[in-house]
A and B are shown apart, each in its own frame.
Chain A
């Protein structure tokens, strides 16, 4: 027979503290006072709580407010029957702090790796039609800024055709005064008018289009969206800035890899279409001159930006020029004229204005 032990006790019904004797059996115990007794309670139903001045405290499952405090310490016979003290939480207490830390760290690395890598695979499994509808939902017709001057679209389609663009890809020019081009979800490629004005030859436009076609064919945009969403869910628990910075750092590494591979596909496509990559190289060289001169810092900082430095890209296109190969211009002079005037000759094209 286990001797009784005095405990401080609240029953969770009244606020008066009582000091019954805890009489332990094998799996259960009674709380005995001079004027009556309570129980039996199962040791297994006890929940470890924060100790008070070193005295162990236990609550009871499904009885909020019920608690016992071993004010005179925990007898060995009772200690063997009550649940272990909670420290870090059930799972970690069972396997130990350091094994748990290592296990969680490995799991976290795996989850982050999956969140960065899986979207590329998943994006290719999504039917292009679904991606197109998603793109329409997000972007629509770009608010009527698409230009359609006479002969322009035909010239644009001619380049796309020569570069072997798949059927679901659509190329348009929009009236936006920025030297840029974007690929939207659903294989919609938009060249900005300013880029056409800055280009010296149709071959330069073909190089940029080939780069964007690389993104479209490899579903980089959808993969990027999925990655952003996945990382924000996975890192959501880190809260505020920490999660945001980790997310940005991980996405940028991946974006840079995607940009470099899009350049690779652009070089291949230009080669197959017998369009010289030299023009694209000189286009990037001109852009490089426009970029501020950071010197050595420039090369370091370029890892922070999503696109590789223009000078690096120019070098890559230059080295891909094959000597003795017969290149033909991407467009004849008349087509090139029509393409450059696609916005200027379209009175209906709306300029960029945000009416908020």
Chain B
């Protein structure tokens, strides 16, 4: 490897070197302190978790570094709470009064507008959270960021979400991929811009599966009912046990099948979205297949429920390890050309995202 020139190859451009036993003391003290501070510590808890995860993530020859602080996350949350959540709560109170006075139409209109506004803010929140995380992520002393504030992205995201819901929801893949492209095209790391070229075409097969399975299964229910119904039509007879058990298995199976099909769509979505993403000379790839996602989700559920919720504190760790282990990068990066980002680093954290309680992944 020549000096000042780093090559990313397929065997391990990214590596995660963490150990859950090493992370456990962080996770447990985070939980303890979050409880006794009525949740205020959770901002510092998240910062500690990220410091650990980032510093145990290697890209080519150097580890990532997380420089965000708990204080800036707290300030971001307080700002979002005062500027967004409190006014929205007040408007809600007024709508209640409007409806109680019998102007249900006007109340409904305000609620619809409010819903659009929250949808808009959700887009802004996701954009700003990515921008904040990139601006606090350093590699070789260089960070990422964005020149945009996310306000325009919010509008784009809003109308694309609405159009996605049109035509009986068939345009959801189009909506998801174009929004992904829009927000990542606005991001950069050092002097390089991200380029996202996710296509919705390759996702349509999986999406149609998600879309059609419930319909097929519902037709199945009626066929099932029609098959057994004549035999249980004896007046006064309770339904046969086999029918009840069969029905329960069917309902259970319905949700499992639907879950697996939904996961298979998301697996395809992330492979497409990350697989077509590039940063200057580096191209990314994501190798997680449906079965990998299924194991992750099942593992997280088991970890949480078998420990009565305590195991949830390891979910963020597992998600990050999963993400990094399936992330790949190819191409040659010239370190002399990798200069510091010229974007303005945001002053506070992902407050909007926190205020709306949106998950990180």
Q: Point out residues on A near B: beta carbons under 8 Å.
A: 10-17, 49-52, 57, 59, 64-67, 88-89, 92, 97, 100-101, 104-105, 108, 111-112, 136-144, 234-240, 243, 350, 354-356
Contact = CB atoms under 8 A, between A and B. Distances in A.
A104 B34 CA distance: 10
B38 A108 contact: yes
Nearest 5 pairs of A and B residues by beta carbon: A237-B39, A10-B141, A140-B101, A15-B338, A143-B102
Given A13-B141, A100-B33, 9 more contacts: A50-B52, A64-B67, A89-B70, A104-B41, A137-B93, A139-B97, A238-B39, A350-B102, A354-B104
- The binding surface of chain A is classed by DSSP as mixed
12 contacts: A15-B142, A50-B55, A59-B67, A67-B65, A88-B33, A101-B33, A104-B33, A108-B38, A138-B93, A237-B42, A239-B39, A356-B108
Contacts of B142: 12, 15, 65
Contacts of B70: 89
Interface in B244-297: none
Given A16-B336, A138-B96, A143-B102, A236 B39 contact: yes
Interface string B40-57: 111010001001101100
Contact of B141 (A66, A140, A143, A355): A66
Contacts of A17: 62, 140-141
Contacts of B38: 108, 111-112, 234-235, 237-238
Given A88-B29, A88-B48, A138-B96, A239 B42 contact: yes
Contacts of A97: 29
A105 B36 contact: yes
A180 to B, nearest CB: 16
B340 A65 contact: yes
A142 B190 contact: no
Contacts of B102: 143-144, 350
Contact of B101 (A14, A104, A141, A240): A141
B18 to A, nearest CB: 12
Contact of A143 (B101, B139, B338): B101
B307 interface: no
B200 interface: no
A89 B340 contact: no
Nearest to A112: B38
A67 B39 contact: no
A167 B105 CA distance: 35
Contacts, number: 128
A11 B39 contact: no
A137 B37 CA distance: 35
B140 A10 contact: yes
A140 B340 contact: no
A112 B37 CA distance: 11
B100 A138 contact: yes
Contacts of A89: 41, 44, 48, 70
A57 B67 CA distance: 12
Nearest to A105: B36
Contacts of A237: 37-40, 42, 77
Contacts of B326: none
B138 A65 contact: yes
Given A52-B63, A137-B94, A243-B39, A355 B104 contact: yes
B206 interface: no
B339 A14 contact: yes
A97 B36 CA distance: 12
Interface string B130-148: 0000000011111100000
Of listed B66, B97, B105, B336, residue having the most chain A CB within 10 A = B97
B97 A137 contact: yes
B335 interface: yes
Contacts of B44: 88-89
Nearest to B107: A356
A104 B55 contact: no
A97 B101 CA distance: 54
Given A89-B44, A92-B33, A14 B39 contact: no
B136 to A, nearest CB: 9
Contacts of B105: 355
Nearest to A59: B67
A354 B338 CA distance: 63
A350 B102 CA distance: 10
Given A108-B37, A108-B38, A50 B51 contact: yes
B81 interface: yes
B46 to A, nearest CB: 11
Contact of B65 (A13, A50, A238): A50
Nearest to A49: B65
A243 B357 CA distance: 13
A16 B65 contact: no
Interface in B108-166: 108, 138-143
Given A104-B36, A138-B96, A143-B100, A50 B66 contact: yes
A235 B39 contact: yes
Could you say which of A10, A11, A104, A237 has the most chain B C-beta atoms within 10 Å of its C-beta? A237
Contacts of A14: 141, 335-336, 338-340
A310 B340 CA distance: 72
